[in-house]
Amino acid sequence: MKKIVISTLSIAAISGACMLTSCGGGNKAADTDSMATDSTKVDTAAAVTPNATSSTEMTYQIPSPKEMFVFIKQVAGKNNKRTDVLNNPDNVKNYADAKSQALNFGIYSCDLTYCSIFEIGTDVLKYFKTVKQLGDAVGVSSSISPAMLKSLEKNMGNPDSLVEIADNLYFSSFESMQNSQQGTTLALSVAGGYIEGLNIACGLVKYDKKSAAVERIADEKYTLDNIIDFMKKYESDAGVKETIAKLEDLRTTFNQVTEKQAGAVAVKEEKGTKVLGGGSESQITEAQYKALADKVTSIRNSFTGK
């Protein structure tokens, strides 16, 4: 699992992600194990950063759109795909300031991953070129090489390779921002990618109280908590502060979702990797799901200028 190292990881993010494979109910029990993604596993040996300067600095997982989309594809069907929920590449010309460029770099990177996973080959190259254009603008051009484009073109008929290339681009760009101490850009890009992934997911998944995909979306509130915590390191920047306020508004909507206990948290060994199970399970109603989807879309459109 790829990692971006930042400070203070809340255990809620781990437990929230882990319950995807541990909670029963509905149509999840039959084949959840075969659909488990990297987000459900915790390498305890890598829980603390090697160069941590204090006991509170932990390894934080940048939320990968790959994990969300693979799960939805497997649960809700590979043909359940829409391109109208993506940010049109033509809009890239509208992003001239640093804030909108960073937010939409995250958004377009997420769109590229989505097109790769759902095998929308006609759009993969368009979104790659758009990501490359904004990557140059935000200062991560070295992470998006011409060799990647050639590899994409060569592997257009190989979905697995396209997904791997898109995922590598996503993380290498964020790592580049971190390594070059572009904290503000990283914070905004993470926010953009997170909101876009959630917006796409809500667009793809219709409400069903027994749906594993609906519960997966509800559990994204744990990821949101940690994104907000991370972004607060850079809230002296006006753009970051404004974005945090919008995410806080989303958190208020998420907090309307109730939880029930799904058993005590347990740790088991699975092929040499420790997997957390149990904890709490989100209980989201149809009205809450609609309110969440509407809020996400509103925030996302404020990012894209739609």
Looking from the CA of 46 toward its CB, the CA atoms found within 13 Å total 13
In terms of C-beta density within 10 A (0-12 exposed, 13-18 middle, 19 or more buried), how is residue 118 classed? Answer: buried
pLDDT digits (tens, 9 = 90+) for 226-235: 899 999 999 9
Is 139 exposed, middle or buried, given 0-12, 13-18 or 19+ CB atoms closer than 10 A?
A: middle
**Contact by Cβ (8 Å): 58, 244:** no
pLDDT of 280 reads 55
Mean pLDDT value across residues 126-153: 89
Least confident of 83-92, 154-163, 193-202, 295-304: 154-163
**How confident is the prediction for the chain on average, in pLDDT?**
78
Lowest-pLDDT range, 198-202, 244-248, 279-283?
Answer: 279-283
What confidence score (pLDDT) does residue 77 get?
A: 83
Amino acid sitting at position 42? V
Q: For the whole model, what pTM was predicted?
A: 0.77
> How many Å apart are CA 42 and CA 200, to the nearest integer?
26
- In the chain, % of residues over pLDDT 90: 50
Contact predicate 143/105, CB 8 Å: no
204 token code pair: 């793809």
Residues ≥6 apart with Cβ < 8 Å to 202: 217, 289, 292, 293, 296, 297
